[in-house]
Structure 1
Amino acid sequence: MEIEHVMNFLVERRATNLPPEALAEVFTSLSWCLDDATNVVTVARKWLRLDDEYRVAVSLWMDDVFPADSRQELVALAADIQVRFPALADRAFDWVRRWDNAYGGNS
């Protein structure tokens, strides 16, 4: 079974009113438990481009890995999320601030 199927199953069968942060924590932990954490990260990055606000939120709350490979990509992703899901804009732009803190701005 592919990890994407497991992640989708967990989202689809989540408890009523489960905040996205809760599943993000599960997926982050799961990435540490698997022999190839990139599979979980790949699914999370894919979800960021979906029209499913819950999956986007889950992905944005996964803390251990940047949701993009460059600052430019993070800025573009955050701007796109701001248009699609304004309620998630602060969290999306928080990733840009984290990048700047880790690597310096405009890198």
Structure 2
Amino acid sequence: METRIDEIGDGIYCFSTYVPDIVPPAGFTFNQFLVVGEEPLLFHAGLRKMFPLVSKAVSRIMPVQDLRWITFGHYEADECGAMNEWLAVAPNAQVAHGMTGCWCR
């Protein structure tokens, strides 16, 4: 597995990680998004096992410890499984979500 980086707008990046073992033979691609600015935001924390790949990709754009916001659409493993890993490497980051999504830290 590897994570591809595409700048899809000015300071907006899509991180795509293709996982061939999901839905073989086609595989499945997981996408996460980074908005770089004064308070950088990561949309989708992603699967826990993909954290090393995605954090390495994010570090090619900016220091991961500078993340300020982590958010996701729903609280299932594909969107927030690595949330605690992101919070551990980005000590000033906060989870931004509705009350049902903010279940830890």
Q: TM-score, normalised by structure 2?
A: 0.42
More strand by share: 2
More helix by share: 1
